[in-house]
Homo-oligomer: A and B are copies of this chain.
Amino acid sequence: MNEGRSSLIVAVDVVLFAVQDKQLYTLLVERGRPPFQGMWAFPGGMVEPEEPLSAAACRELREETGIQSVPYLAQLGAFGDPQRDPRGRVISVVYWGVIPTRCPVRGADDAASAQWWPVNALPELAFDHRTILECARRRLRREVQQDLRLLFHLLTPPFVLRELQEVFEVIIGRPTDKRNFRRFVLQQQWLEEVGIREPQGPGRPARQYRPRPEALLPSPGDRCV
């Protein structure tokens, strides 16, 4: 092992997803200075010397968007192309996560402003963030297909089954049969019924559910999965 010191810069970035109105959104901040001034990027920044990587991710997210906590956050990987940042060599450790609905965000800190964008109509992204987005989106899709419980972190309980299914369909990108979906979810015993939703117009009111606490996928955070 080479024990010499070579100092590269380590950053973290956070790709956060939310679903609303049958669209997948991701959270971006507008860059207030060069390089890529005026373009948009994922919230992120440098890692402090004594700070765990996931803590840095949460901190940058908080500082740049005001979001205080994320129910599910996992590491996506390290992006280290030598050319990815024109200022020099920056390794970015990227985290991805989900959050229920587009929660309010504010611009702050050195980010000019933070905003939710539909992933199908994004502005031009800085650095290699387009690549990172595609990677994170694949990962989100895969994880949801492998374990539907991730959906529970994308909704605020109580919710109704149609809402759950809509979120699912937005993420995997194709429609699903209602009966098959409901049968599958209900027979896992992940949900408990919690009354009937107040009627909100024509149509039969739907049952509301809440995920059982033991059905909530724990956030890996820094843990390796």
| Docked-complex contact A53 and B78, CB < 8 angstroms | yes
Nearest opposing residue in chain B for A48, CB measure? B6
Chain B proximity of A219: nearest CB distance (Å):
15
Residues of B within 8 A of A6 (CB): 9-10, 46-49
CB distance from A140 to the nearest CB of B (A): 13
CA distance A31 to B3 in the complex (A): 11
Q: Which of B52, B132, B135 contacts A81 (CB 8 A)?
A: B52
A135–B131 Cα gap in the complex (Å)?
Answer: 25
Over the window 135-169 of chain A, the binary record of Cβ atoms lying under 8 Å from chain B Cβ atoms (1 yes, 0 no) is: 10010000000000000000000000000000000
Number of this chain's copies in the assembly equals: 2
Interface range on chain A (Cβ under 8 Å from partner): 35 or more
Q: Which residue of B lies closest to A76 (CB)?
A: B224
Neighbouring B residues of A60 by C-beta, 8 Å? 1-2
With a cutoff of 8 Å between Cβ atoms, the chain B residues found around residue A11 in the complex are 1
Q: Are B80 and A46 in touch, CB under 8 angstroms?
A: no
User: In the docked arrangement, what's the CA distance between A60 and B41, Å?
Assistant: 33
Once the chains bind, are B1 and A110 in contact (CB under 8 Å)? Answer: yes
Contacts of A53 in B (CB 8 A): 78, 80, 91
A75–B48 Cα distance when bound, in Å, is: 24
A49 in complex: contacting residue of B50, B81, B89, CB < 8 Å: B89
A116: shortest Cβ distance to chain B, in Å?
A: 18
Contacts of A78 in B (CB 8 A): 53, 75, 77-78, 93
Judged by a CB distance under 8 angstroms, whether A73 is at the interface is no
Q: Is the CB of A2 within 8 A of B79?
A: no
Give 3 nearest A-B pairs by CB, closest first: A7-B7, A2-B45, A135-B224
Q: Enumerate chain A interface residues (CB-CB to B < 8 A).
A: 1-11, 29, 31, 33, 41, 43-53, 60, 64, 75-82, 89, 91, 93, 109-111, 131-132, 135, 138, 222, 224-225
Q: What are 10 A-B interface contacts by the 8 Å CB criterion?
A: A1-B11, A1-B44, A1-B111, A3-B110, A5-B9, A8-B8, A8-B49, A10-B10, A53-B91, A78-B78
